[in-house]
Amino acid sequence: MNMIYMLIGISILLALIFLLAFFWASKTGQNDDTYTPGIRLLFDEQPAQNRAEKSDEDHL
């Protein structure tokens, strides 16, 4: 029975640590821009033509 009390205490402590980390991340602006990362996948870093030229140069 003592083990259950210890595990409950540890789980509450761990939950508080995660809650504090979440509030810290929110306060420092970690979650300010939620739109851009979702659309960043849709854009290529380089146009397709430049990538083809660069890959041809790499094979030389």
Q: What pLDDT, in 10s, does the model give residues 4-52?
A: 999 999 999 999 999 999 999 888 877 777 777 778 777 766 665 665 5
- pLDDT score recorded for residue 41: 76
Angle subtended at Cα 33 by Cα 50 and Cα 51, rounded to the nearest 5 degrees: 5
- Band of residue 59 on the pLDDT scale cut at 50, 70, 90: low
Distance CA 25, CA 28 (A): 5
- pLDDT score recorded for residue 51: 58
pTM: 0.52
